[in-house]
Amino acid sequence: MPEALAALRGTGDVRVTVGQWGVFEPLAGKPRTGLVIYPASRVDWRAYAPIAVAISRRGFLVVVVPMPLNFASLDPARAESVIQDFRRIRAWAIAGHGEGGTMAARLAAHHPGLFRALILWGARPTGDNLGASRISTMSVSGDQDGIVPPFVIKASAWLLPASTLWVTILGGNHSQFAWYGDQQRDGKALISRSDQQAKVVRATVDLLRSIGS
């Protein structure tokens, strides 16, 4: 969407660097907490630029990871290279949308201690059991999501830590976690994209602040 392309130009308080990664960094201060974002399947990574800017301007380094052919399943360990490139970051979290969240959960399960937090946006783990993990975990879902419906997310709850924070966005759907066109099979959102994004940002930032304190 045009809003996503505009966000790539940065703002007065966030610098955007596009290279191997999409890097969003606040101009004020030196962030010590970072967030890696894995896109949903078939979604261009640039669609997450507005939400990356919104999170970064609250004091965090945000790195959106392009995936081979836009499928996170083709390189689920890509965040490891991000962490190596930004050694000044003391605490890392990983967020993923749809299949990106599934792959983020897989990486967190296979590499305990790599991340302090896992944030699932309209996503669920599939087969990777984090039930015994000490990682701070949050699931943010839209009750109108037709791609990863609420009942599917709830059915996977046993794969996540008992301490997982559950956030349901009333009126939110799947595609409004980013800025791209509507998806077939997705439910019709009952709130605006901006409203849904604001709720996702608020929940995500709250968790990032808790792991960075």
Give the CATH architecture of domain 2-212: 3-Layer(aba) Sandwich (3.40)
Average pLDDT, the chain: 95
- pLDDT exceeds cutoff 70 at 111: yes
pLDDT at 4: 96
Mean pLDDT of 90-100: 97
Going by pLDDT thresholds of 50, 70 and 90, the confidence category of residue 89 is very high
pLDDT at 29: 84
The model's pLDDT over 18-36, given as tens digits with 9 standing for 90+, comes to 999 999 999 988 999 999 9
Going by pLDDT thresholds of 50, 70 and 90, the confidence category of residue 213 is low
The model's pLDDT over 32-62, given as tens digits with 9 standing for 90+, comes to 999 999 999 999 999 999 999 999 999 999 9
Rounded distance between C-alpha atoms, residue 144 and residue 21, angstroms: 31
Going by pLDDT thresholds of 50, 70 and 90, the confidence category of residue 98 is very high
The model's pLDDT over 130-167, given as tens digits with 9 standing for 90+, comes to 999 999 999 999 999 999 999 999 999 999 999 999 99
| DSSP calls for the chain | -HHHHHHTT--SSEEEEESSSEEEEESSS---EEEEEEPPTT--GGGGHHHHHHHHTTT-EEEE---GGG-GGG-TTTHHHHHHH-TT--EEEEEEETHHHHHHHHHHHHSTTS-SEEEEES---SS---TT--SEEEEEEETT-SSS-HHHHHHTGGGS-TT-EEEEETT--SGGGSSSPPPTTPPPPSS-HHHHHHHHHHHHHHHHHHHH-
pLDDT at 212: 76
Contact present, 78 and 85 (Cβ < 8 Å): no
Mean pLDDT of 85-109: 96
- pLDDT exceeds cutoff 70 at 119: yes
Sheet holding 117-121, edge to edge: 14-18, 22-26, 61-64, 33-38, 91-97, 117-121, 136-142, 165-169
Mean pLDDT of 54-75: 95
